[in-house]
Structure 1
Amino acid sequence: MTKLMVMGLGASLLGACATVGPAAPVAGGGTCSNDGLQQYVGQPATADVGAKVLATSGAKTLQWVAAGMMVTMEFRADRVRIYLDEQNRIQRLSCG
Structure 2
Amino acid sequence: MKFLLLSATSTAMTLLASCAPADLPKGGLSVSHPEGDGTCDAEPAQTFIGTRANDALASEILAETGSRTLRWAGPDTALTMDYRTDRVTVSYDEHGKITRIACG
Match of 1:47 among 36, 55, 58: 55
Among the aligned pairs, what percent are the same residue?
A: 31
Q: Does the 8 Å CA contact 1:21/1:46 hold for their aligned counterparts?
A: yes
Alignment: residue pair count: 86
Within the alignment, does 1:66 sit opposite 2:70 as a pair? no
**Structure with greater Cα Rg:** 2
- The normalised TM-score by structure 1 is 0.74
Q: Which residue of 2 aligns with 1:2?
A: 2
**After TM superposition, which residue ranges in structure 1, 4 or more long, deviate above 4 angstroms?**
none
Q: Name structure 2 gaps, 5 residues minimum.
A: 18-23
Residue identity matched to 1:49: L
Residues 28-73 of structure 1 deviation map (CA, whole Å, 9 limit, x = unaligned):
2411112212100011112221111000001111111011212111
Q: Which residue of 1 aligns with 2:31?
A: 25
In 1, Cα distance between equivalents of 2:57 and 2:77: 20
In 1, Cα distance between equivalents of 2:87 and 2:74: 16
Q: Name structure 1 gaps, 5 residues minimum.
A: none
- The normalised TM-score by structure 2 is 0.69
